[in-house]
């Protein structure tokens, strides 16, 4: 049986002395598009930072390609796109191609005089994200959706097979959102990438992701997108109780009909 790309077992993580996520167990296999959803403060970004090794586990284990976070074995295998990645200061003059090329630079090659195939990797990443027509344009002149594609291209230029994204849909219009989601789906199906994406947009994720994980301190649901619970069942999973009885709700519905 194929070993999963990501294997998390009994993970708990604290921030400022307070447990934010606990008893997290999950595996992700090659080619999956997995969405992590949940309310604000539910621990979604905390989980991502723990996977990256930025936050240390209070207990439990994380293995990515069989190695712990921050291991030298993982260099070039993980592409990280943070929520703020596309919000570059407007006074920074950098073209799409220059930004994407940064994804090819690491501690082992930054002083290399030879290209080492980096140009081809940049070309491929730009092509995969559909940015050929704006590759020489300053990032500041792009739309929000184009900037998101550019930072994803930078992650792809590392030749990473496991892409982590934190809220990439924030601040972009409907057309750009749909285009970006289609791109992510293509990366899974056509390029063999594995995607783990944090989002608060339940509707978008139900239309796109292969699998959804609802996180609120711990995992409340993990399964195929088609099986994701409706709002009433989701409230039950979260332990939210109705504050109105059925008669009261009936009265309100009658008022609405009038």
- What pLDDT, on the 0 to 100 scale, is given for residue 179? 85
Q: Which residue, among 63, 66, 51, 64, has the nearest Cα to 21 in the 3D structure?
A: 51
Beta strands in the chain (DSSP E): 6-15, 18-28, 33-37, 59-64, 78-81, 162-166, 194-198, 211-216, 218-224
Whether 145 is in a domain gets the answer yes
pLDDT in tens, 41-79: 889 999 999 999 999 999 999 999 999 999 989 888 898
Domain count, the chain: 2
CATH of the domain at 56: 3.40.50.300
Whether 89 and 120 map to the same domain: the answer is yes
- Same structural domain for residues 65 and 88? no
210-238 pLDDT, tens digit each: 999 999 999 999 999 999 888 777 777 66
Q: What was the pLDDT predicted at 109?
A: 43
Residue 181 lies in a domain: no
In degrees, to the nearest 5, what angle opens at C-alpha 90 toward C-alphas 84 and 93?
105
Residue 100 and residue 139 in one domain: yes
Dump pLDDT digits (tens) for 110-162: 434 445 567 888 998 898 888 899 999 998 888 888 888 888 888 888 888 99
User: Could you tell me the two tokens for 78?
Assistant: 């993980």
- Whether this prediction's pTM lies above 0.75 is answered by yes
45/2 same-domain check? yes
**Are 22 and 46 found together in one domain?**
yes
Q: Is residue 182 included in any domain, yes or no?
A: no
Establish if 183 belongs to a structural domain.
Answer: no
Whole domain around residue 68: which residue ranges? 1-77+163-170+198-258
Is position 178 within any domain? no
Measure the CA–CA gap between 59 and 14, rounded to whole angstroms: 10
């Amino acid at each position: 049986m194929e070993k999963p790309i990501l294997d998390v077992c009994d993970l708990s993580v604290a921030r400022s002395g307070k447990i934010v996520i606990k008893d997290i167990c999950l595996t992700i296999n090659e080619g999956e598009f997995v969405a992590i959803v949940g309310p604000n403060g539910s621990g979604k970004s905390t989980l991502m930072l723990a996977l990256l090794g930025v936050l240390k586990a209070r207990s439990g284990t994380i293995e990515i390609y069989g190695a712990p976070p921050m291991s030298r074995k993982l260099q070039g295998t993980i592409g990280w796109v943070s929520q703020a990645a596309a919000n570059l200061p407007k006074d920074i003059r950098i073209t799409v191609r220059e930004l994407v090329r940064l994804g090819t630079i690491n501690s082992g090659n930054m002083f290399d005089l030879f290209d080492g195939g980096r140009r081809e990797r940049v070309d491929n990443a730009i092509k995969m994200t559909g940015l050929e027509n704006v590759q020489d344009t300053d990032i500041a002149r792009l739309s929000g959706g184009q900037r998101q594609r550019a930072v994803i291209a930078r992650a792809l230029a590392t030749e990473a097979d496991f892409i982590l994204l934190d809220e990439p849909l924030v601040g972009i219009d409907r057309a750009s959102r749909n285009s970006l989601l289609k791109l992510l789906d293509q990366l899974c199906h056509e390029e063999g990438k594995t995607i783990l994406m944090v989002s608060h947009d339940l509707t978008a994720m139900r239309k796109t992701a292969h699998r959804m994980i609802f996180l609120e301190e711990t995992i409340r649901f993990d399964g195929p997108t088609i099986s994701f619970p409706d709002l009433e069942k989701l409230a039950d999973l979260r332990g939210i109780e109705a504050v109105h009885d059925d008669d009261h709700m009936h009265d309100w519905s009658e008022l609405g009909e009038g």
